[in-house]
Chain A
Amino acid sequence: MKEIRIHARAGQGAITTASILGYAYFLKGMYPYAFPSFGAARMGAPMNAFVRVDSHPVRLRSQIYEPNYLLIMDPTLMRGFNCFSGLKEDGIAIINDKDTGSLPKVSAKQKVFAVPANEIAMKTIGRPLGNTALIGAFCAATGELALDSLLEAIKKRFSGKAMEGNIESAKQGFEFIKNQLRG
């Protein structure tokens, strides 16, 4: 079983992110359970979305406290709140940020990646919606999902121009991390 926790503000597309991730796992024949947890249930309020995935149907309905992977959609959420709480010993975090300069120290086996997802989205979609770039980065950083599975999931979720932009976004997010890993 793998557990992913997404930190975002309401309106930033955390549920869309969770559903695209879940769908990509679903295409692999896995059994994902993607679900949100609303905070103040207002635009801009901190909220979480989660993906729990296994090779058989997921029965556990609680939120995720010890994630394998973290996706942080908005780096300002890390001010005054420990988004890294419970991250597994060998966990991986992907942050929508220009650099990892302001990140908290993590243990030796944990990895943190920063991807300028909003900048990528401004170029590819024309709006600062970094979700798909972030998931692209997730695929590259974790090796959990092939880029093709992700692109297929994006095709299912979007159509027309939005689809094209998001596919490009995901590819660039993926490549950004791949280059870092090569480097």
Chain B
Amino acid sequence: MKEFIEGSLAVAEAVKLCKPGVVSAYPITPQTHIVEELASMVADGKLNAQFVNVESEHSAASVVLGSEATGTRSYTATSSQGLFYMMEVVFNIAGMRLPIVMTCANRAVSAPINIWNDQQDSISLRDSGWVQLFAEDIQEAVDLHFIAYKLAEDKSIMLPVMVCMDGFILTHGIETVDMPSQEQVDKYLPKYNTTYKLDVTNPISMGLLAGPDYYMETRFAIEETHKDILKLLPKLTADFAKIFGRTYNGLVEEYQVKDAEKVIVALGSVCGTVKEVVDELRSKGKKVGLLKITSYRPFPAEAIYEALKNVPKVAVLDRAVSLGSFAPVSSEIKAVFTSKKKKPQVISNFVVGLGGRDITKESIKEMFKLLSAKELTNEFIDLKPELLKESYEQ
């Protein structure tokens, strides 16, 4: 049913439809509304789950690690510093192959203190083994939660999934969302059932020591599973389309890429703004396009190669930095084309919208304009030169 609903509340509703047994969280802006709403649902008897209030994100992640280990579908949400405080447990969850789903309301990290949106938080945890799926709008954020549980709990996968949605822009935005029915979700997402769980009648140990004789194989196994996810995700989204009537590729989305001379690569809500600019420039005869990456982990290198191999000029839009090196998404896009015969002549990279700096249509047009024969590295868009003048020497 179509509703006019805030992103956070829509996600809470989606999580409720997934029927988790345990929700644990420590509220942090801008995901607070999600867990507030879930806490209300539990208190009102609308969601039959245990809501565990904890004193920190480290504990929130630890609680869902424990509950998931008993074979109970579990959920948490966080953002920014909260995600960083979880970091140790985040790696543990992936290493223990626990299919937890977490929402990350993407936000900048301190210092300076900044509550606003960018994608530095989840991108900084890209090496944890978690799947990371990025939403363009609230509808996609909602739908990705169903797909996330379905993917995570697949017996051939058994890995946690982080659904990333831009803080404020999506979490605090209100728009029209088609909320699915419980019947649709039940049909798509069966009850969670796992062979390996903490069970007093059938005791096993989990999260044990693995010395040099064993450790490497556990990392290799996760790496292999990520390859399997690249094959499975498009199937899961095809099944999703049959039940819910909405089509996603799951890995990447090509928007006006086929004959494009210039393409921007981006993740998350900014893709909407880029699409607007693409339409505008196309109406003036400019051959431009967008490649949206939905699955950042696993990184869909093959799909990206196929989409961009004949595009002369590519601009990578990063909403995060890897200070001292290339911005994160751009370095991976460049890696896709290493030693390939067919490849873009130019791959320039742009850093945009850090700490909530607004990304306007003009910001995107500026990127297309700067995307020329000269390859640019870490080009910051919308910088304020007047703020850069102050120096320590004063």
Contact = CB atoms under 8 A, between A and B. Distances in A.
Interface of A: 15, 18-19, 22-23, 26, 31-38, 41, 57-63, 65
Contact of B173 (A23, A33, A41, A62): A33
Contacts of A31: 175-176
Most chain A CB inside 10 Å of its own CB: which residue of B4, B269, B363: B4
B115 interface: yes
Interface in B159-216: 166, 168-169, 172-176
Given A22-B4, A60-B273, A61-B169, A35 B174 contact: yes
A61 B175 contact: no
A32 B138 CA distance: 13
Q: Is the interface of A mostly helix, strand, loop or mixed?
A: mixed
A35 B168 contact: yes
20 contacts: A15-B172, A19-B4, A22-B4, A22-B174, A32-B175, A32-B176, A33-B174, A33-B175, A34-B174, A34-B175, A35-B173, A36-B172, A37-B358, A38-B168, A41-B115, A57-B176, A59-B137, A59-B273, A60-B273, A61-B359
Interface string B333-370: 00000000000000000000000001111010000000
A35 B275 contact: no
Interface residues of B, number: 25
Contacts of A59: 137, 272-273, 275-276
Interface of B: 4, 6, 29, 115-116, 137, 166, 168-169, 172-176, 269-270, 272-273, 275-276, 358-361, 363
A81 B116 CA distance: 22
A18 B172 CA distance: 11
Contacts of A37: 168, 358
Contacts of B276: 59-60
A61 B172 contact: no
Contacts of B172: 15, 35-36
B359 A62 contact: yes
Contacts of B116: 38
Contacts of B363: 62
A35 B7 CA distance: 10
